[in-house]
């Protein structure tokens, strides 16, 4: 079959953009370039894989899992069903953290990424700022394997620690960052998310704050005298999380940032930093 025939086949079953992205990925082409190859004959093994991937989409598997990778801040990260699909809000979290880090620290920093999943946060930060060490922490051993593969692919040195948040950690850090689970146990979410993405990385108790409690309780013990803490949050959780912070930490500056959709999605804590 030709590229054009496959695109027609794909568009009958799924969104035309998804059909192009899937085929472009298999042919190692930019989706915008496919129209330059419409008459190109495609190998039978590629045709078979393409039809299987179209079928997976029709069964409700997210496009990113079908492809097996995502672009995050210009780098390609492999992902699978053991890790969350990175969102644009998390890119904003990394961008803000990188900006603050460059303003606040002159020496290479020690970073911990709590609940690292595929490693997009910690590994991306290590490529944007000067680091002394990057520790990637997750309760899921399967997620850590994905993060290890991404570190290898990106040629980034990192330490991988199997731990429930701070449980197996005995260091202090310049930067503490996390996009933890924050969905309430009974909260309604999209079926494509609920049916495919790992629940251990989504749900965090009746009020969605269990992981923030763990993180915030450990900040005193695991933060250096001068420390930046960056947290991604649910769009309606800022006030509750600020309350948790104020109960545990003294003399810190707290800043809430909105995402591009004008929703409060990030909290930054500045410890001994003006």
Cβ atoms 259, 265 nearer than 8 A: yes
Write down the pLDDT at residue 122.
98
Which helix (DSSP H) or strand (DSSP E) does residue 237 occupy? none
Residue-wise burial string across 144-163, b where 16 or more C-beta atoms lie within 10 A, e elsewhere: bebbeebbeebebebebbeb
Token pair for 159: 């330490």
pLDDT tens per residue, range 89-136: 999 999 999 999 999 999 999 999 999 999 999 999 999 999 999 999
- State the angle between helix axes of 44-58 and 3-13 in degrees (0 to 180), rounded to the nearest 10: 10
**Counting beta carbons within 10 angstroms of the beta carbon of residue 143, is it exposed (0 to 12), middle (13 to 18) or buried (19 or more)?**
buried
Residue 14: predicted pLDDT: 86
C-alpha 145/C-alpha 251 separation (Å) is 38
pTM above 0.75, yes or no: yes
How would you classify the pairing of strands 173-178 and 109-114? parallel
pLDDT reading at 219 higher than 90: yes
Alpha carbon distance 233, 244 (integer Å): 13
Phi first, then psi, for residue 262 (nearest 5°) are 65, 30
Q: Are 113 and 231 in contact (CB under 8 A)?
A: no
The per-residue pLDDT for range 246-264, each reduced to its tens digit, is 999 998 999 999 999 999 9
Residue-wise pLDDT tens digits, 45-84: 999 999 999 999 999 999 999 999 999 999 999 999 999 9
Distance CA 44, CA 62 (A): 24
Residue 265 confidence (pLDDT) = 97
Average pLDDT over residues 175-186: 95
C-alpha R_g of the chain: 21
**What is the end-to-end Cα distance of the chain in Å, rounded?**
63
Q: Residue 159: which pLDDT band, with cuts at 50, 70 and 90? A: very high
Phi and psi dihedrals of 176, rounded to 5? -115, 125
Where residue 274 falls among pLDDT bands split at 50, 70, 90?
low
What is the distance between the alpha carbons of residues 138 and 150, in angstroms, rounded to a whole number? Answer: 15
Calpha distance 166→168 (Å, rounded): 6
pLDDT for the residue numbered 13: 84
The beta strands (E) that lie in 75-222 are given as: 75-78, 109-114, 131-138, 159-162, 173-178
Sheet holding 131-138, edge to edge: 159-162, 131-138, 109-114, 173-178, 223-232, 264-271, 252-258
pLDDT at 15 over 90: no
């Amino acid at each position: 079959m030709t590229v054009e025939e496959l695109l027609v086949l794909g568009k009958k079953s799924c969104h035309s953009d998804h059909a192009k992205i899937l085929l472009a990925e298999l042919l190692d082409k930019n989706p915008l370039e496919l129209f330059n190859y419409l008459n190109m004959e495609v190998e039978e093994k590629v045709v078979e894989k393409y039809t299987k991937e179209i079928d997976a989409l029709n069964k409700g598997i997210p496009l990113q899992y079908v492809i097996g990778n995502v672009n995050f801040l210009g780098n390609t990260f492999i992902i699978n069903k053991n890790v969350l699909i990175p969102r644009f809000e998390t890119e904003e979290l990394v961008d803000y953290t990188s900006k603050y880090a460059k303003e606040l620290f002159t020496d290479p920093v020690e970073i911990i990424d709590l609940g690292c999943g595929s490693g997009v946060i910690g590994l991306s930060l290590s490529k944007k700022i000067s680091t002394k060490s990057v520790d990637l922490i997750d309760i899921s051993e399967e997620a850590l394997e994905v993060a290890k593969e991404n570190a290898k692919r990106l040629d980034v040195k990192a330490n991988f620690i199997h731990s429930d948040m701070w449980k197996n950690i005995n260091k202090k850090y310049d930067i503490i960052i996390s996009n933890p689970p924050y969905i309430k146990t009974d909260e309604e979410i999209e079926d494509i998310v609920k049916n495919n993405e790992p629940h251990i990385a989504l749900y965090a108790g009746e009020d969605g704050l269990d992981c923030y409690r763990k993180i915030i309780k450990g900040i005193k013990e695991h933060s250096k005298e001068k420390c930046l803490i960056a947290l991604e949050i649910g769009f309606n959780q800022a006030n509750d999380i600020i309350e948790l912070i104020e109960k545990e930490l003294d003399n810190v500056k707290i800043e809430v940032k909105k995402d591009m959709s004008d929703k409060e999605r990030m909290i930054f804590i500045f410890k001994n930093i003006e």
